[in-house]
Structure 1
Amino acid sequence: MRVEEGFQPPPYIEGNPYTTDPVLQDLLKRLLPSTSLEEIDADLTRFGDVIIPKCRALSARAEPPKIIQYNQWGQRVDDLQTCEAWRGLKAVMQEEGVISNFYERKYGAHSRVYGYTKVLLATGDTQVIFCPLSMTDGCTRVLELLGNPELKRDIIPRLTSRDPTIAFTAGQWMTERPGGSDVSQTETVATAIPNVTSPYGPVYTINGFKWFSSATDSDVALALARTGPISAGSRSLSLFLVPLRRPLLRTPDEPTPSALSNNIRIHRLKSKIGTKIVPTAELELNGSEAYLLGPLNQGVKCITPVLNITRLYSAISSVGYIRKALSIATAYSKVRTVSSGKQLLKDNALHVSVLAKVNLTYRALTHFTFGAAALLGKVECNVATEEEELRLRMLTPAVKAFAAHYSSMAMEECMAALGGMGYMEETGIGRLIDDGLVEKVWEGTIPVLSLDIVRAVSKAGVLEAYLKWVNETLSACPSTLQAKNTSALLLVQQALSLLSKAYKQPVSPLVTRPALFLYSHITSALSLLEHVTWAINTAQPSAELDAEVFRRWVEEGSWGGSLASVAEEVKRSLEASADRVSADAKIVYGDQAKSAVVEIARAHL
Structure 2
Amino acid sequence: MRVEQGFQQVPFHEGNAYVHDPVLPSLLRRIIPSRLFTEEIEPELERFGAEVTTSIRAQASQNRVSPPVLRQYDNWGRRVDELQTSEGWRSLKATAQREGIPGIFYERKYREHSRSFGFAKAFLMVGDSHEVFCPLSMTDGAARVIELMGTEGMKRDIFPRLISRDPSSAFVAGQWMTERAGGSDVSQTETTASPLDSSDQLDGFKWFSSATDGDVALALARTGPLDSGSKSLSLFFVPLRVPLVVNGSKVTASPTSNGIHVHRLKNKIGTHTLPTAELSLESTTAYLIGSANQGVKNIAPVLNITRVWSAAGSIGSLRKCLAIATAYATVRKIDGGKRMLKDVPIHVANLASINLVYRALTHFLFGVVVLLGRVECGIATEEEQNRLRMFTPILKAFATEKAVPAMEESMAALGGQGYMEENDIGRMIRDCLVERIWEGTTTVLSIDLLRSTTDPAKLRQFISWCNSIILACPPDLLKCVQEAIQLLQWRLDSLLAAFLHPVPPLLARPSLMFMGYIASSIYLLEHATWSRTRGEPELEVDAEVFRRWVFDGGFAAVEQELDRARSEHKLANASNTVIVFGHAKL
> Which secondary structure state, in structure 1, belongs to the residue aligned with residue 506 of structure 2?
coil
What do the CA deviations read for 1:406-453 (whole angstroms, capped 9, x no partner)? 111011001111011100000110011011111111111100000000
Match of 2:575? Answer: 583
Mark the runs of 5 or more structure 2 residues left unpaired by the alignment: none
What do the CA deviations read for 1:99-149 (whole angstroms, capped 9, x no partner)? 110000011101111111111100111111100000000000000000122
Mark the runs of 5 or more structure 1 residues left unpaired by the alignment: 198-202, 595-605
Please show how residues 475-486 of structure 1 align to structure 2 within 5 Å. Answer: 475-486=471-482
Distance of 1:366 and 1:564 partners within structure 2:
21
* 1:239–1:292 Cα contact (<8 Å) kept: yes
* 1:105–1:111 Cα contact (<8 Å) kept: yes
Match of 2:204? Answer: 208
* 1:190–1:225 Cα contact (<8 Å) kept: yes
Displacement of 1:481: 2.1
> Which secondary structure state, in structure 2, belongs to the residue aligned with residue 207 of structure 1?
strand
Aligned residue among 290, 293, 297 for 1:294 = 290
Match of 2:125? Answer: 122
* Paired letter, 2:555: L
* Paired letter, 1:297: N
> Which secondary structure state, in structure 1, belongs to the residue aligned with residue 245 of structure 2?
coil
Match of 2:423? Answer: 427
Distance of 1:522 and 1:333 partners within structure 2:
32
Distance of 1:170 and 1:204 partners within structure 2:
19
Displacement of 1:251: 5.8
Distance of 2:152 and 2:424 partners within structure 1:
45
Instruction: Note closer, same or farther for the CA distance 1:192–1:153 as it changes in structure 2 (3 Å cut).
Output: same
Match of 2:17? Answer: 17
Displacement of 1:45: 0.6
> Does 1:546 pair with 2:542?
yes
Displacement of 1:209: 0.4
Distance of 1:307 and 1:250 partners within structure 2:
31
* 1:491–1:563 Cα contact (<8 Å) kept: no
Match of 1:514? Answer: 510
> Which secondary structure state, in structure 2, belongs to the residue aligned with residue 48 of structure 1?
helix
Identity %: 54
Match of 1:439? Answer: 435
Displacement of 1:460: 5.9
Distance of 1:40 and 1:91 partners within structure 2:
21
* Paired letter, 1:240: F
> Does 1:405 pair with 2:401?
yes
Distance of 1:152 and 1:35 partners within structure 2:
33
* 2:115–2:373 Cα contact (<8 Å) kept: yes
* Paired letter, 2:572: R
> Does 1:170 pair with 2:173?
yes
Displacement of 1:464: 2.3
Aligned residue among 306, 309, 319 for 1:310 = 306
Displacement of 1:530: 0.3
Match of 1:250? Answer: 246
Displacement of 1:252: 8.5
> Does 1:342 pair with 2:338?
yes
* 1:498–1:567 Cα contact (<8 Å) kept: no
Match of 1:570? Answer: 562
* 1:165–1:252 Cα contact (<8 Å) kept: no
Distance of 2:456 and 2:348 partners within structure 1:
47
Please show how residues 85-104 of structure 1 align to structure 2 within 5 Å. Answer: 85-104=88-107
Aligned residue among 215, 218, 221 for 1:219 = 215
> Does 1:592 pair with 2:584?
yes
Match of 1:487? Answer: 483
Match of 1:50? Answer: 51
* Paired letter, 1:493: Q
> Which secondary structure state, in structure 1, belongs to the residue aligned with residue 246 of structure 2?
coil
Displacement of 1:253: 6.8
* 2:169–2:249 Cα contact (<8 Å) kept: no
Distance of 1:81 and 1:462 partners within structure 2:
49
With normalisation by structure 2, the TM-score equals 0.98
Match of 1:143? Answer: 146
Distance of 1:475 and 1:282 partners within structure 2:
53
Displacement of 1:222: 0.3
Distance of 1:21 and 1:240 partners within structure 2:
41
Match of 2:32? Answer: 32
> Does 1:69 pair with 2:61?
no
Distance of 1:498 and 1:251 partners within structure 2:
63
Displacement of 1:465: 2.0
Q: RMSD over aligned Cα, in angstroms?
A: 1.1
Distance of 1:158 and 1:362 partners within structure 2:
35
Distance of 2:120 and 2:569 partners within structure 1:
45
Instruction: Note closer, same or farther for the CA distance 1:170–1:262 as it changes in structure 2 (3 Å cut).
Output: same
With normalisation by structure 1, the TM-score equals 0.95
